[in-house]
Structure 1
Amino acid sequence: MSYSALEQHFEQLHHLQHLGAICGWDQATMMPAGGNEARAEALGTLAVLCHQQLQDERLAGWFNDAGNEVLSLQQQQSLKEMQRVWRDATLLPADLVRARSLAGSRCEHAWRSLRKNNDWHGFLPLFEEVVALSRHAASARADALGLSRYDSLLEQYEPGMRTHTLDALFDDINQWLPGLIGQVQEKQGHEPFLQPQGPFATDRQKALGLEIMTQLGFDFNRGRLDVSAHPFCGGVSDDVRLTTRYDENDAAQALMGIIHETGHARYEQGLPVTWRKWPVGQARSMGVHESQSLFFEMQLARHPAFLTQLSPLLNQYLGEQPAFAPENLARLYTRVKPGFIRVDADEVTYPAHIMLRYQIERDLIDGNMEPRHLPERWDQLMQHYLGLSTKDNYKNGCLQDIHWTDGSFGYFPSYTLGAIYAAQLAEAMQQQLGPFEKLLTGDLTAVFDWLQHHVWQHASLLSTDALLTQASGQALTVRPFRHHLEQRYLS
């Protein structure tokens, strides 16, 4: 049967991608600097092998014949997802795939030291090559899919999402977010809090993180925690790799980072076992993926009921002090203050960081802006959204993110989409199971079972719209996100 042949073919592709994911994790965590050029070449070759696997001349015939076979509803959706992946891959020639992989690896590796040295001018030539190749790829995709350049890249991360929808969502947020930021800052100005007093030894922070991961249901038999310059969750469902970074003067950074990445990991580990080797058994979209990490970090971990459970653990692992009292933690972990760094931003100002990046990357890819103008444009938008200037401060400005170094344009909107999805799911969960004040005291099994039933087990068997609708009873809307922020920060 042609469908069976397709399953075998995509299973082989999954194994190659597994190797690539682990090599990429090693490159970011353990590889000595001198190995980068060889690793870049190896990953480039592996990218070509994966690309060739998707350009196999037999695939067109198999897809045509499989469409006439008797398939279950799940197999039909699986066939659809394999076709989508195949279509995306056949849009780009192998030499462009390899060139993008090489340019991205070199740019990402150089970025680690260039950012530390605030060296924008050293970064620019590498970045210009990445942008040029990304535009080339976007043009090829756009011509084939009948989309704009940027929408053709957005499709890779958030299938079905378009610029006009993002513009409507972000315009909605932009109407009330600046006022909300001001209101919250005014309110919190009259609410004193204690800052935890370090230093906090890295080994104690790690032990605390591992304890929290255990309580959040992470399966250490199928994953591990390490350190990298930029926290991420990688690997595959049966071999999940989390990373964080530690600051001995700020334990919250690593702790909340670990909880965030554990949300990603629980989603990966919760995907249906029987479908994991094929596209249909993998994450629906980056926005849905981000919704799970934000559900863990923002909806759960910063809720007063969860912080009541966290308080004794902080005292146990980091040493007792008044700052770890639940009431103080609630104020501490919900502080709102505009800052330069996206990954350190609070829940309220975070969408501003994403809207800034969305505007810039959209204009870069659509040809309405050149890479050399990035620092100036970044500074303008930071001043517009958050009242901060990044002039000549490249390290904390346009060099702070890893995403663009390897050409991951179209990815950033997933972060705020994830926050919107998470709020919508949290609202639905509480309507069905009861308020978090009760759900987050003690055992969290009911929370994870709900997510397993409504999100994790569906993988890519449902579209994002269908996933949200079946879980919450309504299509995508900003309303629960706004309500969540107003209730948490103004009530």
Structure 2
Amino acid sequence: MEKSSPYQSLLKTFQRLSRFSHLSAIAGWDMFAMMPPGGSAARGEALAELGVLQHQILTDKKVGEWLQNALQEELNDVEQANLREMTRQYEQAALLPESLVEAKSLAGSRCEHAWRSQRPANDWQGFAENLRDVVKLSREEAQIRAAAKGGSRYDALLDIFEPDMTSARLDVLFADLKSWLPSLLEKVVEKQAQTPLIEPQGPFPIADQRELGLEVMRVLGFDFDGGRLDISAHPFCGGVPQDVRITTRYNENDLLSALFGVIHETGHARYEQNLPRNWLDQPIALARSTAIHESQSLFFEMQLGRSDAFLQRLLPTVRQYFGEQPAFSHENFIAWNQRVKPGFIRVDADEVSYPAHVILRYEIERALIDGDIEVEDIPALWDEKMQHWLGLSTLGNYRDGCMQDIHWTDGGFGYFPSYTLGAMYAAQLMAFRQTGAAAAGKRYRQR
């Protein structure tokens, strides 16, 4: 029997890891969307155990040896890229002790599960108690990573989601946004106020909202043989490329929240469903970064979903489910969906005010991980920044303020900048689609 080369051994190992990740992803989706509350503790322990097992497999010293020896093999370009991604995964994991991996997973499960009931109850004190544990462990992880890589603790976590991105680079990008975004927001709101809108009259039955969402998913090309739509406390896209699970949440008095949640998550899902099938059990087939992932979801939500053409296509279906009413006239429906209006909730924000929500979170989580503030400082700082950016106060309103997102519950510090980076990528993709592609085609024809 011929001995496997180092690279072939790595292929088998990462295929095994991919299959464990498959199980972890589906179990995680089930925990968020289906599992009864009483199963939370046991599921958290099971997922932590699975995470430890994956960590052991990935950080085995044989993997490190294979990675070094595989550099001497004659690999094609794709295989070399796969080896690069394998090495990155190994180096990221090898920094952390097994005990920290387990503790962070358990703390995240506890915090997220409690958050589901604490947020509706506006229970900041209860949430803060769990969040402190998550922050403590996240700082510990960040310190280990920063010591190895250099840079700040926050940058070490940012690199997990957006490779080689730093807060210094983000500060330059965000400083530019800050220089013109507030005045643009003010001008747009002022101009739109000159044309009063008719608000749609609910209620909008949840069953009908779900059917509308499913129809929109079909129009957007979602493969229902490899995915499904469900309900959760916070919209998300989970599962695996062959079995993508997306969720939304419904409000009978708000038609847009669930609808655009579905459109956003369908963007994530379509990216997952179109990852290279021949390599799905290898690191090279994973999403390039969270910002690239968000560029696809925000392209669907902001660039496509709020375009005149898409809204014209959508309107007859909306009338089919919710009947005729003045708000569903052609002009009003388009203007209503394209309205810019500062609000409390990030996931419901329009394209102009959305970056303000992200920059606010970036500045707070960066200060938190770097140790400049503590958990108890978050509400006042959140209120201060909301008033500065959007003219809204969240004083005492934790539910619609600093407790609204799920990301921090499991230690996802460093993720939020991906939204604004993704929005920038999405805008550039649309700009190229509208102008650059035509110019490129013209240049090609002239050759």
What TM bracket, shorter-length normalisation?
over 0.9
Paired residue for 1:247?
A: 251
In terms of mean alpha carbon deviation, does 286-295 or 245-254 score higher?
Answer: 245-254
Q: What does 1:347-366 correspond to in 2, within 5 Å?
A: 347-366=351-370
Residue 328 of structure 1 and its aligned partner are, at CA, apart by: 1.3
What is the CA–CA distance in structure 1 between the aligned matches of 2:437 and 2:221, rounded to whole Å? 19
Report if aligned partners of 1:376, 1:391 keep a CA contact under 8 Å in 2.
Answer: yes
> Is 1:392 matched with 2:400?
no
Paired residue for 2:443?
A: none
User: AA paired with 1:254?
Assistant: A
What is the CA–CA distance in structure 2 between the aligned matches of 1:75 and 1:287, rounded to whole Å? 24
User: AA paired with 2:212?
Assistant: L
Residue 247 of structure 1 and its aligned partner are, at CA, apart by: 1.1
What are the Cα deviations for residues 24-59 of structure 1, in whole angstroms up to 9, with x where unaligned?
Answer: 111111101011110111111011011111111211
What are the Cα deviations for residues 147-188 of structure 1, in whole angstroms up to 9, with x where unaligned?
Answer: 211111001100121111100010000000000111011101
Report if aligned partners of 1:227, 1:245 keep a CA contact under 8 Å in 2.
Answer: yes
Paired residue for 1:459?
A: none
Q: What does 1:455-466 correspond to in 2, within 5 Å?
A: none
Paired residue for 2:180?
A: 176
- The partner residue of 2:144 within 131, 140, 143 is 140
User: AA paired with 2:182?
Assistant: P
What is the CA–CA distance in structure 2 between the aligned matches of 1:187 and 1:434, rounded to whole Å? 32
Secondary structure, aligned partner of 2:75: coil
- The partner residue of 1:341 within 345, 356, 360 is 345
Report if aligned partners of 1:339, 1:388 keep a CA contact under 8 Å in 2.
Answer: yes
Paired residue for 1:235?
A: 239
Task: Give the count of matched residue pairs.
Answer: 436
> Is 1:35 matched with 2:43?
no
RMSD of Structure 2 on Structure 1 (CA): 1.3
Report if aligned partners of 2:64, 2:90 keep a CA contact under 8 Å in 1.
Answer: no
Residue 318 of structure 1 and its aligned partner are, at CA, apart by: 2.0
Residue 116 of structure 1 and its aligned partner are, at CA, apart by: 1.1
TM-score normalised per structure 2: 0.96
- The partner residue of 2:160 within 152, 156, 161 is 156
Report if aligned partners of 2:108, 2:134 keep a CA contact under 8 Å in 1.
Answer: yes
Paired residue for 1:287?
A: 291
What are the Cα deviations for residues 306-353 of structure 1, in whole angstroms up to 9, with x where unaligned?
Answer: 111111111112222232233212210121221111112111111011
What are the Cα deviations for residues 233-253 of structure 1, in whole angstroms up to 9, with x where unaligned?
Answer: 001100100000111111111
> Is 1:370 matched with 2:366?
no
Paired residue for 1:475?
A: none
What is the CA–CA distance in structure 1 between the aligned matches of 2:172 and 2:183, rounded to whole Å? 18
Paired residue for 1:423?
A: 427
Residue 432 of structure 1 and its aligned partner are, at CA, apart by: 4.5
- The partner residue of 1:302 within 299, 306, 327 is 306
> Is 1:189 matched with 2:193?
yes
TM-score normalised per structure 1: 0.87
Residue 433 of structure 1 and its aligned partner are, at CA, apart by: 4.8
Paired residue for 1:442?
A: none
Long gaps (5+) in structure 2: 440-447
Long gaps (5+) in structure 1: 436-491
Report if aligned partners of 1:233, 1:261 keep a CA contact under 8 Å in 2.
Answer: yes
What is the CA–CA distance in structure 2 between the aligned matches of 1:2 and 1:160, rounded to whole Å? 27
What is the CA–CA distance in structure 1 between the aligned matches of 2:387 and 2:360, rounded to whole Å? 10
Paired residue for 1:71?
A: 75
Q: What does 1:8-87 correspond to in 2, within 5 Å?
A: 8-87=12-91
What are the Cα deviations for residues 383-428 of structure 1, in whole angstroms up to 9, with x where unaligned?
Answer: 1111211111111111111100100000000011110000011111
Report if aligned partners of 2:359, 2:417 keep a CA contact under 8 Å in 1.
Answer: yes
What is the CA–CA distance in structure 2 between the aligned matches of 1:48 and 1:341, rounded to whole Å? 35
Report if aligned partners of 1:338, 1:345 keep a CA contact under 8 Å in 2.
Answer: yes
Secondary structure, aligned partner of 1:116: coil
Q: Percent identity?
A: 58
